[in-house]
Amino acid sequence: MKWAPLALFARTAFAAGTIQVQWTTDVTSPSDRADQRIGMYGPDGPWQALWIDVGPGKPLGSMTNFNAMWPSGGGTTMVLTRQVPRGNYTANHPGNFSSADNKQVSDDWMSDVFVNQTALGSSLNDTVIFSGPLGVTARVDTRVYAIDDWAISMSDGRNRSAEVGILGLGSGIIGPSKSGGVVLRQDGILQQLKGQQNKIGSMSFALHMGSVQLDQRGSMILGGYEQNRALGTVGMFDYQQWKIPSMFLIDVLLGTQIGGSPFERQEDEGSIWRGPGNNTQAPKTTKNLGGKQGSVSVTINPAAPYIYLPLGTCEEAARRLPVSWNDQLGLFTWNTNDPRYQGIVSSPAYLAFVLADRTAKNITIKVPMRLLNLTLESPLVSVPTPYFPCKPFDPELGHWMLGRAFLQAAFFGINYDQNLTFLAQAPGPDMAQRVVREIDSGNPTIEANPIEEFESSWRSSWTILETSQPEPNVVSPSNTLPVLSTGALVGVIVGACVMVAVLVAFGIWFWRKKNSESKSSSEETGEDLKPDQTQLNSDAQLANEMCAKSPASEIGSPLPHELEVVNKAQEVATELQYFELPGDGLDGVKGDADLKDGKIPMILPT
């Protein structure tokens, strides 16, 4: 194994009163992780875990007492002995104090219920060592459980062994004594680091799991947090009921952050939340905890792998995704042959969770599909299989769990001094510069970076799709024609009809005058000239048809074809006005117009 000291040195920015906890990927090189899978854990990840020494201190980088552990806010620390595959703890060194009984041990935050696991081990006192890049940061004597048998039941009835233990950072615990089995009160890890050693300024921690497959290291700070890991509004939740971080989940949605949607239909995006389903206990649990009707109580726990939701919600998501239910695994697997698969898991699509904090303010956590394309390995499957980590679950307690898959995209922590849990959106792989802040024991405020960093931190990891709707047709102002209103169009048409009628009347008058002159000439020459009545009727009919057959042409969106809807200022007047023509009148002319005293009545727009 190759140790990567430069990676550790790059992460030496500390704030006073904080301790940075190392991760398994911090002390291994990329070649280790690629070739030997050192520092990565499964079989449903890959995941990274905390790098913890338990037992006598060894030189920095030594793997002798190295133990992989999930962080937990409970008070129980469970470390895998060498009797368990990938376990590395030896309980027989001088100085520890073992109880005689080997008993069942449980995670205080109830991951046992969701993971369906059973752990057997003995309780003893030992030293938990937090090592930094330049040496030992802190040592804490505390109770640990040495686990010799940790069986996880799989959906097909087989058992597999756990690969990672649990580091309990919670409140004080009861431990065995050196002499004669007298039970003593023993402070927890954070209590000792603050009260006895003054290593941290508050009993608190902040966590972001990060992503192994995207090479985003995790963050675990005792007594503080990384500001760059928290984006936008930070939700605050009470940490009093049951002594677990409980909050209310009110909605789950599918969406796309930017660009076109990779989903088949527009209606595939939006809420997929189906509430508590048929769980009869859930409404009672939610009501007792003070949540609103239709929401459910959830716990965030990195010791559990999946996103456990009420029956109906994961199924609704699956209906819109290229996944299939595998009854043997009890999970949804991605249909990698479906042409939609690659487009969705590489796009800016996400699964969003809306939670209500203690002030009823909504906090939305978006988990990109890139993080929901995880891999199942042996012994779960014979060949690596991509899967969707949303697991339908129906617990008797009416309480659900958001595990490591959720924490890849969430900033989460607990302030025990204030009895508060905090939660915010976490960034993607291209996150901002690391800034470590101390958590004030008397001030619950958490500073966060702008929420806009969520999108910018993910852009390089996404394939942004073009929008399905065409761009609007922008016309250059030089080529733009004025658009007339309906009233103006009516006025133009009526005016044109009047002009035609005037021209026809003038033509008739001119023809009559010429005819009169011709008649006088004819009388002198003896010729009898008669007017062409057919032509006169034809001219008058043409004028009428031109006015009657010239409908208003519409520009833009269709408009009602009723004059009554036209603005009154644009209505056509019905007043008759008479225009006198020169000459002797139009005696003998017949047509549609009512000729009176040699005058032609016309309807003109006012």
The domain boundary residue, chosen from 434, 469, 504: 469
Residues 6+ apart with CB under 8 A from 83: 148, 149
CA angle 425, 370, 346 (to 5 degrees): 125
The yes-or-no verdict on residue 508 having pLDDT over 60 is yes
Structure-token pair, residue 151: 């069986």
Domain boundary among 164, 184, 199: 199
Instruction: Compute how many other C-beta atoms are within 10 angstroms of the C-beta atom of residue 401.
Output: 25
444 and 550 together in one domain? no
Q: Report the range of poorest mean pLDDT among 53-62, 216-225, 347-356, 371-380.
A: 53-62
Question: Is 22 exposed, middle or buried, given 0-12, 13-18 or 19+ CB atoms closer than 10 A?
Answer: buried
Q: Is the residue at 219 inside a domain?
A: no
User: Do 19 and 127 belong to one domain?
Assistant: yes
In a 10 Å sphere around its CB, with 0-12 CB exposed, 13-18 middle and 19+ buried, how is residue 605 labelled? middle
Q: What is the pLDDT of residues 147-185, one digit of tens each?
A: 999 999 998 899 999 999 999 998 754 444 444 454 445
Instruction: Please list, in sequence order, all residues whose beta carbon lies within 8 angstroms of the beta carbon of residue 233, skipping any fewer than 6 positions away.
Output: 361, 363, 424, 448, 451
Q: How many other CB atoms are found less than 10 A from the CB of residue 278? A: 11
Please check whether residues 453 and 494 belong to one and the same domain. Answer: no
- Whether 497 maps to a domain, the answer reads yes
**Total-model pTM:** 0.75
Residue 214 counted as domain residue: no
**Same-domain check for residues 579 and 444:** no
Residue 215 lies in a domain: no
pLDDT of 287: 94
Q: Do residues 338 and 415 share a domain?
A: yes
Residue type, 290: G
Residue 544 falls inside a structural domain: yes
**Cβ–Cβ under 8 Å, residues 202 and 440:** yes
Read off the pLDDT of each residue in 403-418 and give the average, rounded to a whole number: 97
Per the CB < 8 A criterion, the answer to whether 515 and 527 are in contact is: no
Q: Are 579 and 542 within one domain?
A: yes
Residue 563 lies in a domain: yes
3-class DSSP string for 239-305: CCHHHCCEEEEEEEEEEECCCCCCCCCHHHCEECCCCCCCCCCHHHHHHHHCCCCCCEEEEECCCCC
245/173 same-domain check: no
Q: Which candidate, 28, 46, 49, 114, places its Cα nearest to that of 371?
A: 46
Q: Report which of 440, 415, 438 is spatially closest to residue 15, judged by C-alpha positions.
A: 438
Q: Which of 69, 72, 39 is nearest to 52 (CA)?
A: 69
State the pairing for strand pair 246-256/436-438.
unpaired
The residue among 145, 164, 199 that closes a domain is 199
Which of 586, 410, 406, 579 lies closest to 509, judged by CA? Answer: 586
- Asked if residue 475 belongs to a domain, the reply is no
Residue 167 shares a structural domain with residue 278: no
Confidence class of residue 209 from pLDDT cuts 50, 70 and 90? Answer: very high
- Looking at the structure, tell me whether residues 449 and 364 fall in a common domain: yes
Residues 84 and 173 grouped into a single domain: yes
In a domain, 474, yes or no: no
More confident residue, 378 or 487: 378
Read off the CATH number of the domain in which 337 is found.
2.40.70.10
Dump the DSSP string for 140-198.
Answer: EEEEEEEEEEEEEE-TTS-EEE---EEEE-SS-EEE--SSTT--EEE--HHHIIIIIT-
Query: Tens digit of pLDDT for each residue in 295-350?
Result: 999 999 999 999 999 999 999 999 999 999 999 999 999 999 999 999 999 999 99
Checking if the pLDDT of 110 tops 50, the result is yes
Q: What is the pLDDT of residue 160?
A: 96
Each residue of 227-281: pLDDT tens digit? 999 999 999 999 866 678 889 999 999 999 999 999 999 999 999 999 999 999 9
506 and 398 share a domain?
no
Residues 230, 131, single domain; the answer is no
Q: How many domains does the chain have?
A: 3
Residue 283: give the domain boundaries: 224-469
